[in-house]
Amino acid sequence: MTDTQFTDNAFSTLDGNITNSATTLDVQTGHGARFPEVNFFIAIYPDDGDFETKKPEVIDIESRSTDTLTVRSGGRGAGDTTAQAWDDGDDIRLVVPAQWFTNRQPSFLASRKASVDDPPDDEFDDTNGMSGESNGIDSKWTVVSGASGTVDMTESGATVERYDLATRPGWLLLQTGENSDQKVELRQDYTIPDGSSIVCALSYAWATYSSGQNESQLGIGINDTDSGRDAGDYHVFYFDCQPGGWRVIVYDGSTTHGATSDNSILNHGLAFFRIDRDGTNFKFYWSTDGFAWTNMADLTISPVPDNLWIWSETMTSGDSPRPIHGVYWIREGGVGLDPWPWLT
């Protein structure tokens, strides 16, 4: 789903009566161009201005064709309003519902995790009662590289590739070793549903050597092989944390399909990766707020991958501290490539 669209001075009146279940409505001839083409909200008001007798209704509009507006499924009576019948000539305005702002507050986003346990939905919390290993990893995940343990926040201790949910409950922490090719990989049997997406909230470089040796990576991946995230026909989507800079990359073992260097990502702490699927077409996006998305790559992948990976790896040998990265949650988006279907 494209982000909500806006235009200035978008107003008209209703051209014809509508019922409380109508899924299309018309504005006056020539007024449609005042409104966006897709994804916006309108409010209908009684033309006599008596809002006490008849409250306005907010409607979620999916698309516009000339002067005809098509309502999104379930879009009548949006927000705290009620679907009602309206008369020819009633007022129409483009609006921004209060909940739209609420849902975009960083504290709200950070608190929203998976509401169900259908693959790949996971909140990584050792107190959420998930089945599987004792520290909370759901049994649908297979640990291919690394082992559970407590991450080492100091510059001493054994070199161990591990994952941990106890040090910071609610987060899956991935700590790799001090030498190159030391990695943590978790795999799940999972195919992104056609017309849907996966979204992962993650935090890069809780600890990594910023001025010397340790280059490390954190990301998700899809492939058709159980042996490793970089085996078979694979595509990985990751942060590359290295001295002097930070990159976001989509890579398949031979071609870098998308790469951006952006040191400003260090200021955000929490970022989002998203992979959309439309048949064999896959789109890779990343974001620092979950709403303004940067498209990194549009790829055709066939056959469709049936493995999902979370992984971290040390790329260059060096001294401490050993890299630590965090994954907050990973979940399935909605039909129509909407990454936030559960924002209500």
158 contacts: CB under 8 Å, gap ≥ 6: 152
Question: Confidence band (pLDDT; 50, 70, 90) for 344?
Answer: very low
Mean pLDDT of 311-329: 77
pLDDT > 90 fraction of the chain, expressed in percent and rounded:
35
Higher pLDDT, residue 245 or 239 = 239
245 pLDDT band, cuts 50/70/90, is low
pLDDT averaged over the chain?
80
Q: Is the pLDDT reported for residue 216 higher than 70? A: yes
Residues in Cβ contact with 192 at an 8 Å cutoff, skipping those fewer than 6 apart:
198, 222, 275, 277, 282, 304, 305, 308, 332
Pick the range with the lowest mean pLDDT from 104-113, 211-220, 270-279: 104-113
In tens, the pLDDT along 121-166 reads: 676 765 443 333 444 567 788 899 998 888 776 655 557 788 887 7
Q: Which fold has domain 106-332?
A: Jelly Rolls (2.60.120)
Q: What is the pLDDT of residue 63?
A: 93
3-state secondary structure of 274: strand
Q: In this predicted structure, what is the pLDDT of residue 107?
A: 47
Residue 254, both tokens: 């031979």
pLDDT of residue 41: 92
Q: State which of 123-137, 192-206, 326-340 shows the largest mean pLDDT.
A: 192-206
Q: Does CATH place domain 11-102 in 3.40.30? A: no
- Confidence class for position 290, pLDDT limits 50, 70, 90: confident
With a cut of 60, say whether residue 330 has pLDDT above it: yes
Find out whether 192 and 198 touch, Cβ atoms under 8 Å.
yes
pLDDT in tens, 1-19: 446 788 888 999 999 999 9
pLDDT tens column, 23-78: 999 999 999 999 999 889 999 999 988 888 899 999 999 999 999 999 988 889 98
Residue 293 near residue 84, CB atoms below 8 Å: no
User: Mean pLDDT lowest for which of 31-45, 74-88, 207-221?
Assistant: 207-221
Model confidence band, residue 212 (pLDDT cutoffs 50, 70, 90): very low
Q: Would you say 122 and 133 are in contact if contact means Cβ atoms under 8 Å apart?
A: no
Instruction: Supply the Cα-derived Rg of the chain in whole angstroms.
Output: 24
Residue 293 tokens read as 């998305």
Task: Please choose, from the candidates 90, 81, 95, 74, the residue with its C-alpha nearest in 3D space to the C-alpha of residue 23.
Answer: 74
DSSP letter, residue 20: T
Q: Are 181 and 138 in contact (CB under 8 A)?
A: no
* Angstrom distance (rounded) from CA 105 to CA 337: 21
First to last CA, the chain: 15
Q: Positive or negative, the Cα torsion across 228, 230, 236, 238? A: positive
Domain boundaries, the chain: 11-102, 106-332
**What CA–CA distance (Å, rounded) separates 44 from 22?**
13
**Alpha-carbon torsion, ordered 206, 297, 232, 119, to 10 deg:** 70
* Alpha helices, DSSP H, located in the chain: 98-102, 106-111
CA–CA gap between residue 189 and residue 224 (Å, rounded): 10
Q: Is the pLDDT of residue 343 over 50?
A: no
